[in-house]
Amino acid sequence: MPDRLFPTLASGSGKEALRFGDTSLTYTDLAAVAGTLARDLPSGRVAVWATPTLHTSIAVVAALLAGVPAIPLNPKIGERELAHILADSEPVLVLAEPGADLPTGLDGLPRRDIPLEGAPADLPAEPAEEAPALIVYTSGTTGPPKGVVLPRRAISTTLDALEDAWEWTAEDVLVHGLPLFHVHGLILGILGPLRRGGSVRHLGRFSTEGVARELAAGATMMFGVPTMYHRIAGEVGEDPSLAESLSGARLLVSGSAALPVHDHQRITAATGQRVIERYGMTETLMNTSIRADGEHVPGTVGVPLRGVELRLVDEAGKPVEEIETVGEIQVRGPNLFTEYLNRPDATEAAFDDGWFRTGDVATRDAAGYVKIVGRKATDLIKSGGYKIGAGEIENALMEHPGVAEVAVTGEPDDDLGERIVAWVVPDGERPTESELADHVSRLLSPHKRPRVVRYLEALPRNDMGKVMKRALG
């Protein structure tokens, strides 16, 4: 029988496992409620309306206990994106917190409200390690999002590798305010503490006040994205209570995009703490990290985690051996996904003789520290912790009657990492910036809306008619 994904859940404990606001569950409570829900789940995939709540955590744990693949849905999802995910993944049920208003796109799917109480009973038998655990949708450079099938094996090995790198134990109490529909907030931020037998306090919504409060009240770790740390960096020098609470943390971890060196410096100057960065993707979970017991090198994402093989390759696909030489990151190991759902062509194209092509370009120093310097393609934008495909936004904008041509790029932003810029050739009367942003928010999701719109008479194109994005800006 496979080892338990959550040993403390099976053994039982009166220790607090999850807390959202004033509501919390011990491990014994969580085993009862998630176990009750797990026994009632039908076979087949289930969608989870992934609000930042205790309910979402219970639903995902229940699906994992039952061996039923869970599909986290962004509660701000646009109508077209939702329709694509439902058609592609074909869930048999949607789990949602009681009272949550679901969009009309989910009307045809049976709904089950997620309980907060359950009867104690034996947990289901542990599913096989290769069984699909989560299907997380991620944006590509063109077309609709792809469903990344993550097996239980990938989740357990990544979390155990982070236990090693971060000296993560059952004594740790994690605080964060990350969304629960992607890898960072859900797998690292909820499932991570549960696998360790520790605790997590979720803020519901990030605030520096919430972080300070929880760290002052016994939390030992914080997870965040650069947008959050940028806000902390802007306040910590003038807020003694924030500085004091951060200085007492055991570990501060930033991910999903690069944290500017200036923000590192401001936080360290005010608190004495050094923020750890790590590097991962939906398809690979975590690949590298600064180690808790290692050298802190701002601007790098550390060294490969235990069990992860990482190489850099040149444009011909040959390994780059020289230090400080740019190459595309390729990885392999037990942390990788199984496949893109219903996309064998895309799955095959993503690998190079067993190595996953990340599309990220990096250098490596003599000590093995990896520094990411950009994307192999120019069409993937990292904004506010999200990975966003430019082509998807371009397709949505082209449906607006006031848009004749459009190109979407990213440009540096102190708060978001990158902001989305739409370069628009109007068709007749020029649409307003807010009109275009609302249009994209309705079709896709609010975080995919353009933050800046620039108007042109024509897009720069090469002799083949392809838009030359590097000529923009």
CB atoms within 10 A of CB 410: 23
- The sign of the dihedral angle between the CA atoms of 12, 15, 17, 18 is positive
Closest CA to 275 of 257, 303, 255, 245: 255
Strands (E), 365-402: 370-375, 380-383, 386-389
User: What is the predicted pLDDT for the residue at 92?
Assistant: 98
Let me know if residue 271 belongs to a domain.
Answer: no
User: What is the predicted pLDDT for the residue at 377?
Assistant: 64
CB 350 within 8 A of CB 146: no
283 and 407 share one domain: no
DSSP string, 400-439: STTEEEEEEEEEEETTTEEEEEEEEEESSSPPPHHHHHHH
180 and 146 share one domain: yes
- Which residues fall within 8 angstroms of residue 61, CB to CB, at 6 or more apart? 6, 9, 30, 34, 191, 194
The domain boundary residue, chosen from 328, 355, 375: 375
Let me know if residue 251 belongs to a domain.
Answer: no
CB 385 within 8 A of CB 282: no
- 147 Rama sector, left if φ>0, alpha if ψ -120 to 50, beta otherwise: beta
**Ranges of the chain with pLDDT below 70:** 1, 140-142, 374-380, 387, 462-466
Closest CA to 456 of 424, 409, 422: 424
406 and 364 share one domain: no
Q: How far apart are CA 420 and CA 403, in angstroms?
A: 17
Residue 168 in tokens: 């993560």
The domain boundary residue, chosen from 353, 375, 397: 375
Which DSSP state fits 123? P
- Which residues fall within 8 angstroms of residue 441, CB to CB, at 6 or more apart? 78, 448, 449
12 and 139 share one domain: yes
User: What is the predicted pLDDT for the residue at 144?
Assistant: 87
370 and 388 share one domain: no
Residue with tokens 């090198």, as numbered in its chain: 297
- The sign of the dihedral angle between the CA atoms of 415, 416, 418, 419 is negative
Pairing of strands 199-202, 16-20: parallel
111 and 17 share one domain: yes
359 and 403 share one domain: no
CATH of the domain at 398: 3.30.300.30
Let me know if residue 370 belongs to a domain.
Answer: yes
Let me know if residue 262 belongs to a domain.
Answer: no
Distances from the Cα of 355 to the Cα of 120, 161, 404, angstroms = 44, 19, 40
Q: Domain tally for the chain?
A: 3
Q: How far apart are CA 269 and CA 275, in angstroms?
A: 12
User: What is the predicted pLDDT for the residue at 227?
Assistant: 84
77 and 196 share one domain: yes
Q: For residue 211, give the 3-state DSSP assignment.
A: helix
178 and 285 share one domain: no
Residue with tokens 């990213």, as numbered in its chain: 410
Q: For residue 239, give the 3-state DSSP assignment.
A: coil
The domain boundary residue, chosen from 375, 409, 432: 375
Residue with tokens 């077309």, as numbered in its chain: 143
Residue 404 in tokens: 């004749």
- The sign of the dihedral angle between the CA atoms of 75, 138, 468, 384 is positive
Let me know if residue 19 belongs to a domain.
Answer: yes
User: What is the predicted pLDDT for the residue at 462?
Assistant: 60
319 and 440 share one domain: no
User: What is the predicted pLDDT for the residue at 464?
Assistant: 40
361 and 388 share one domain: no
96 and 13 share one domain: yes
Q: List the Cα angle 84/89/92 in 5-degree steps.
A: 115
Q: What one-letter code names the amino acid at 173? A: V
Let me know if residue 99 belongs to a domain.
Answer: yes
- Which residues fall within 8 angstroms of residue 433, CB to CB, at 6 or more apart? 450, 452, 453
Q: What is the largest CA-CA distance in the chain?
A: 69
CB atoms within 10 A of CB 311: 17
Give the residue numbers spanning the domain of 284.
276-375
Closest CA to 174 of 155, 158, 187, 161: 187
CATH of the domain at 341: 2.30.38.10
Let me know if residue 443 belongs to a domain.
Answer: yes
CATH of the domain at 84: 3.40.50.12780
Let me know if residue 297 belongs to a domain.
Answer: yes
Q: How far apart are CA 17 and CA 122, in angstroms?
A: 18
Q: For residue 82, give the 3-state DSSP assignment.
A: helix
